[in-house]
Structure 1
Amino acid sequence: MPAQEPNLDIDVAIRDARTAVLSVRGELDMETAGPLEARLAEQFGQGRGRLVLDLSDLAFMDSSGLNVLIRATQRARGLDGDLYLAAPTPAVRRILEITGVTAATPPHADVAAALAAAGG
């Protein structure tokens, strides 16, 4: 069941013991960054270090959302995993590129490509 937050929906699909796909829809900003961070922390707490974020329906992301992604990447790598970004919308891709996030965490064309990169 999706978590319903103001202007943000998050669906979690468990792929295996170490891998989950989080589909993020809506707007990721100061108001909604906390709930996403909590959902990511849930997955880390259950031992999942390979997390795919499906950004294909994310219309907007500000610096608060960007900070969540950066912290999640660091935490995933600390667990011998990684954060895999899938199909960011043009607006989201632009902020990822401008801030240099794509250099450290290159986005994938879709969820299937991100899962392949994650080894699942």
Structure 2
Amino acid sequence: MSEREPNLDVDVEIRDARTAVLSVAGELDMDTAGRLADHLAEQLGEGRHHLVLDLSALGFMDSSGLNVLIRSVHRAREAGGDLYLAAPNPAVRRILEITGVTTTLPPHDHLAQALAAAGGGR
């Protein structure tokens, strides 16, 4: 299940009934944030409330992308789950840090760590 958007790829891997991994590649900005928001909302709607975002191939993120993350973590937590960030590159990690997002949504260095935190690393 792969969708193409200019400068953004989102691949979704269903891990189990409650966990999905969304691998995000390219640029997460005003033009592409809606695509990721749609994917996250779809997974939440399907009952997968533990969402892992693999950011290892995400090269850029602006405030539109940050807003998607913040809205999605609140929705996931309201549903009894959570959002887990995995492997952001140094530039994306820096944006998360300077905006304070890491206090609410601490990133994991590796996908395996994020999956273990989500309980989907089995």
The TM-score by the shorter chain falls in which range?
A: over 0.9
Cα distance in structure 2, aligned partners of 1:6 and 1:48: 26
Give the structure 2 partner of residue 73 of structure 1: 73
Tell me whether 1:116 sits opposite 2:116 in the alignment: yes
After superposition, the CA RMSD in angstroms is: 0.6
Amino acid at match of 1:66: L
Q: How does 1:38-117 map to 2 (within 5 A)?
A: 38-117=38-117
The aligned amino acid for 1:86 is A
Query: Are 2:8 and 1:8 aligned?
Result: yes
Q: CA deviation at 1:119?
A: 1.1
SS state at 2:77 partner: helix
Post-superposition shift, 1:109?
Answer: 1.1
Structure 1 gap ranges (5+): none
CA deviations on 1:34-55 (whole Å, 9 max, x unpaired) are: 0110000100010011000000
2:26 counterpart SS class: strand
Amino acid at match of 2:73: T
Q: Which amino acid aligns with 1:43?
A: Q
* Cα shift readout 1:52-86 (whole Å, capped 9, x = no counterpart): 00000000000000000000000000110000000
Structure 2 residue matching 1:88: 3-state secondary structure: coil
Q: TM-score, normalised by structure 2?
A: 0.97
Q: How far apart in 1 are the matches of 2:8 and 2:19?
A: 22
Q: Once the two structures are superposed, what CA deviation does each residue of 1:14-39 show, in whole Å capped at 9, x if it has no partner?
A: 00000000000000000000011000
Aligned partner letter, 1:79: A
Cα distance in 2 between the residues matched to 1:22 and 1:93: 17
Aligned residues between the structures: 120
- The alpha carbon displacement at 1:110 in A equals 1.1
